[in-house]
Structures are given as C-alpha cells and as structure tokens.
Structure 1
Amino acid sequence: MCLKKCLVGLTFCTCYLASHLTNKYVLSVLKFTYPTLFQGWQTLVAGILLHVSWKLGWVEINSRSRSDVLTWLPASVLFVGIIYAGSRALSRLAIPVFLTLHNAAEVIICGHQKCFRKEKTSPAKICSALFLLAAAGCLPFNDSQFDLDGYFWAVIHLLCIGAYKILQKSQKPNKLSDIDQQYFNYLFSVVLLTLAAHPTGDLLSVLDFPFLYFYGFHGSCCASGFLGFFLMFSTMKLKSLMAPGQCAAWIFFAKVITSGLSMLLFDIILTRETMGCLLLSGFGEALLVFSERKGS
C-alpha cells in the first residue's frame, strides 16, 4: 500500500510539472494568448477522455439528473473563471510568481471557515494563512518583472479558487462525487468557452497567430490537453488514497519542483526581495501541510 501511494504521488508530481511547463511554453514562449480557445481545447480533450473512461468502466459517473446539474452550475461557472483567469495570468507571470498568488486562495478559505462557519482553526493554519497573504501582498511591490494585467488576472484566479472550494464544501454531503463534479465542469466549460470565442475576438484573432501551422505548437497543444486530464485524474486518485495531510505534502512538493525547474527553463529575474516573497509563501504552505497532518 505504501508503494502504491508513493507511485500515485510521483505520478501526480510528474503530471503537475509537465502540465504547468507545457502550458507556460504555449502561453509565454509561443504566445498563444487566446484563452477561450486554449482552455476550450483542454476541457474538450479532458471531457472526451473522461467520457471514454466512463464508458470503458474505468470511472463511475453516477448522477445525471437535472437538479444535480443545476445545483452544481454556480461551481461550474467558477471553474471556468479559474481556468480562464489562470491562463491569462500564467501567460504574463513567471510560474513561481503565479503559484505564490495561487496559494493565497487558502487565505479566503481559512477566513471563511473562521469568520462565517465558526469552525475551530488551529494556530498553525492561521499563521500559514497570514504568511501566504503577506507573501502575495508584498510580491507586486518587489517583482522586477511586474505586469499589471498578469497580477489582475491572478487575483481573479485566486478569488475564483477560494469561492469554488467554499461552494464545494458547503454542498457536502451531496449526490455528486468528485468525478461527477469534474465531468459537469468540463461539459459546461466547453459550451461556455465555445460561445465566448467569437465575442472575445479570439476566434478571428487566432488566424493571425504566427505558429498556427507549426508542428511544435500542435504537439504542445495536444500534450496540454492530455496532461490536463491526467493531472485531474491523478489528483483525484491522490485524494482518495491519502489523508489530507499526506495529499497536501505531495501538492507542496509538486509546486516546489515545478517552481524550481521553471526558473531554469524560462526567463525570470530574481531579486533578494522577490526571492524572500517566494520563500515566505513556501514556508506558509509548509506550515499548512504541518497543520493538515496534525489535524488528520
């Protein structure tokens, strides 16, 4: 069992690393900044693969009633916000910066649990949230590659993540499993992003994309779609096999290796102040892992 958990954890880390690096390459190096098309493609591929997996009996999708879909619809809207804003932010920000801002979503979740749900929150978790907030708050003032649009979309991204997780927890227990939720997310995302492609101008602008017929671009887009599915699948497997503390530890490890390797592959200017913010965020997330393990 221990070996199985380790293999699942390593698979998750590999998918997390490959997915983020591939997306960053397409968005920043190739500059394919058409999020409705890019995210629509990714969710279409992932949705088809999930549907095929269901038909082959590899996963179970149980709930398909109209009431279940309508109940989950607000969360699916937030999911579209997460991937759309995340794509816009990642195209302009370095991966370590993006993940530091991404981590700040935990502050919203912790604040909601403490202030609105009146749940008992450990001092370690509160300190973790404060460190994550401080790191994300100080980063824009110390980032030598500051990009206003990138930070704007990163803030929208983290707000959507926080709201999504709060809504997800508030609806439990419910009839929808994690796979059911993701299946509906994919279906809704494909429909909404397809409808939005023309009004946003992405559908016509993409015709001027210089690498539209470049095989490297085609391969990267295909890889991003498959990697997105495998990342989702390995994440769910990780959560089903491990306690919350162990799962948080693997996620933290994946973020560390992804941030570290991205610094070698993509251009990033690191000052002492920027590095301090990144380390503070890392320390905050490590403290969160400690609080989760202690709680479990």
Structure 2
Amino acid sequence: MWSSGNLPPVFFCIYSPFLDFSVNGAAYSDEQSIFQKALCCELMRSFGVKITSNNDEVDVEAGRTEKDRGKAFRSKRVLTIHNQALLSGLAYCFSSCSMILVNKYVLSSYDFNAGISLMLYQNFVSVVIVSFLNFCGIITTEPLTWRLIKVWLPVNIIFVGMLVTSMFSLKYINVAMVTVLKNVTNVMTAVGEMYLFNKHHDNRVWASLFLMIISAISGGFTDLSFHAIGYTWQFINCFLTASYSLTLRRVMDTAKQVTKSGDLNEFSMVMLNNTLSIPLGILLIFVFSEVDYLSKTPLLESPTFWLVITFSGFLGLAISFTSMWFLHQTGATTYSLVGSLNKIPLSIAGIVLFNVPTSLENSASIFF
C-alpha cells in the first residue's frame, strides 16, 4: 500500500489545489470547507485511493466520520491506494508498448545499427535519473554492496541478454510479429512456474496459452516479411524473458536478506539492474564491434536523434520500474500474460506507423 509519504510526486502535483496534506499526513486546514474535502475525497476515490483515519472510517459524501457525523475531519489521515496489481499492470502495459514502438523507430527509421549501444545509453539515462531523485531526497535506494551485487548479478545477466536480443529481433522483425511471437514467452513462463515452483494453473489458463501458441505459429507462417535471423533472436528473447520473470521473483526475496534495511524497493532494484548492466553493455559493444560503427555514423551529430534516444531512456526507466512493481504484486505467469494485453493495439500501431506489408491471414493471427 502507498501512504501519503510515498505516493508519487505527480499525484500531489495533480491534486495540490484540493489537498492540504503535509508529508507526514497533517490534517485539513480549518479554512477548508466540507465541500472541498468531499470533492478531494471523490477525486482520490476515482483513482482507487481510500482515506482512512487512525480512529474511524470517513464518510466521503458528507465529509464526516461514521461514528460521529457531527465531528470534523480527524488529523493524521493516511492515503492508501488499493488494487496496486491492476494499477501496476496497466502502467507496465503502457510503458512496454511505448518502449517497443520507440526502439523500433530508432532501429528502423533511423537505420541505427548499434542496438547494444542504444540499450547501454538507455540504462545510463535510468541510472542518472534515479541517482538524481535519490540525491534530492524524493526517493530512497539501497546502497550497492558486494553481497547485494553477488545475489543480483545472475538475474542482471539475464536482463542484459533479454534487452540485447530484443534490440536484435526488432531490427529484423516488424512490431506486430514481435508481439505475436512473445506469446511463446507466456507458455515458457507457465511451464517454468509449474516445474520450478510447483504452481498449478487451471484449464482456462492453459486454454488461453494454447490459443497464443496457435497465434504465434499462424503468424509465422503468414508473415510476408519473414526473416530467419530475426525469428531466431526473438525466440532466444522469449526464453530469456521467461527466465528473467521466473528468476527475478526469487532473487527479490533473497536480496532483501542482504540489504542494510532488510527491504528492497522498486527504485533500488531499478538502480541495481541498470548500474550492473553498464559494464556488461560496454563489454558487448566491443564483442559485437559496434565501436567502429559509432565512430563513423553521422547520427550522433543529430540533436533530434539524441532527443529521441534520451526519451527512450526515460521509457526504459518506466518499464524497469513498472515491471518490478507489477512482478512484486503478482506471479511470473500473470506478469507474462498481462504483458500480452498490449498485443492488439501495439500490433496495429506497428503496422500503421511503419507501413508493414501484411495479409488477412497474418492480421487474423494477431487477434488470438
């Protein structure tokens, strides 16, 4: 649950005309009218926010407590947001959809042939933003220790592999087919949870997974822009993505035991992932000979290009945070399945924005 002390700053920016809370949850000012209080409560309730008092429940419509309707609002109220799983899932879907489209735009429209370098820059932007927010006291992150790094390093290697293979597949495959083929990830994740964590799924889950496999197979057979290298990278990406979601949840619990506070929030995990990925990314740049390409490409002299990839860095931070947040609220299979909710709008957007040739049969595979 979120309290008033750790709600996102954007929440207070939106509702600042209606709110008179201090960081520690101070009471409404005496000058505020009952109408303003009730309006504030209604706005927050529409976002799934519930106002509770240390003593009583609040009657939102009248602005009075249930036990004593004649009393004014109590002090030290706490803001909590319910249905965090739903909220985090929607945020994850939106950021994931945006990230795929922007990466495809950079790699294809700009014909940028350094996907690892793009990933490295995005991770660098994420580290800078989180460090700045931590320095300003807006968020808190756990200090990096060798014990924490050793626990987190295996999942970080998978994370880097997942990002790199995603870049390579997007270079060769259109957005619609990337989203369709990601259905394979859901099946791998469900099977992995069954064998690794002894978690059983009901028939409805398996039925939906079966339809997703049909979608992936039919999409591949009817893809007018089929590229064997791109499909190979995408299937590797599916395996690494499933491994990442299965491994991350277990590592989350283990990592908490080696932190100084005994906890590990989402921003700390984002900081860990992106910081550790930078040296790995630098190594891969030399392995795949991207240094020569970067020294010759004129794109690095374009301010517009830098603006676009910097924006993609902000999206990288968003998807890192929302994926951690959502996986914290749910299981690996749910995380994987919800990630497929953006398949239809993302596929349509990819076909329209990038003028992808398609057929009726291939388009039908998107709707499975």
Residues 266 and 321, structure 2, Cα contact 8 Å, conserved in 1: no
**Separation in structure 2 between the aligned mates of residue 230 and residue 182 of structure 1, nearest angstrom:** 10
Alignment of 1:183-198 (within 5 A): 183-198=271-286
Matches within 5 A, 1:102-121: 102-121=182-201
**Preserved contact between residue 33 and residue 88 of structure 1 (Cα < 8 Å):** no
Aligned to 1:228: 316
> Computing the radius of gyration over CA atoms, which structure comes out larger, 1 or 2?
2
- Say which of 327, 332, 355 aligns to 1:267: 355
Residue 54 (structure 1) aligned with residue 97 (structure 2) = no
1:95-154 alpha-carbon deviations (Å, 9 max, x no partner): 121112223211111112223433221111112222222322333222110011111111
Distance (whole Å) between structure 2 residues aligned to residue 255 and residue 50 of structure 1:
29
**Residue correspondence of structure 1 range 171-186 to structure 2 within 5 A:** 171=251, 173-174=253-254, 175=256, 176-186=264-274
Q: Which runs of structure 2 are paired with 1:25-36 in the superposition (5 Å)?
A: 25-36=105-116
Say if 2:88 and 2:325, in contact at 8 Å, map to a contact too: yes
Q: Is the 8 A contact 2:95 2:318 kept in 1?
A: yes
Distance, in Å, in 1 between the alignment partners of 2:278 and 2:238 is 21
| 5+ residue gaps, structure 2 | 1-43, 49-85, 257-263
- Higher-helix-fraction structure: 1
* Count of aligned pairs between the two proteins: 279
Q: Is 1:22 the counterpart of 2:110 in the alignment?
A: no
Identity %: 20
After superposition, residues 142-181 of structure 1 pair within 5 angstroms as 142-171=222-251, 173-174=253-254, 175=256, 176-181=264-269
- Structure with more contact order per residue of length (Cα contacts < 8 Å, sep ≥ 6): 1
Residue by residue over 1:46-98, the C-alpha shift from the partner in whole angstroms, topping out at 9 and shown as x without a partner, is: 11111222222333323633222111111000000010000111121111211
Q: Distance in 2 between matches of 1:160 and 1:9?
A: 21
The two structures have a TM-score, normalised by structure 1, of: 0.82
* Separation (CA, whole Å) in 2 of partners of 1:101 and 1:119: 24
What value does the CA root-mean-square deviation take over the aligned residues? 2.9
Q: 1:226 to 1:155 in 2, by over 3 A?
A: same
User: Which residue of 1 is the match for residue 4 of structure 2?
Assistant: none
Instruction: List alignment gaps of at least 5 residues for structure 1.
Output: 281-296
Is contact 1:86–1:157 with CA below 8 Å preserved after alignment? yes
Q: Deviations over 1:11-37 (max 9, x none)?
A: 666544433222111101111121221
Shift of the 108–12 alpha-carbon distance from structure 1 to 2, 3 Å rule, reads: closer
CA contact (8 A) 1:41 1:225 kept: yes
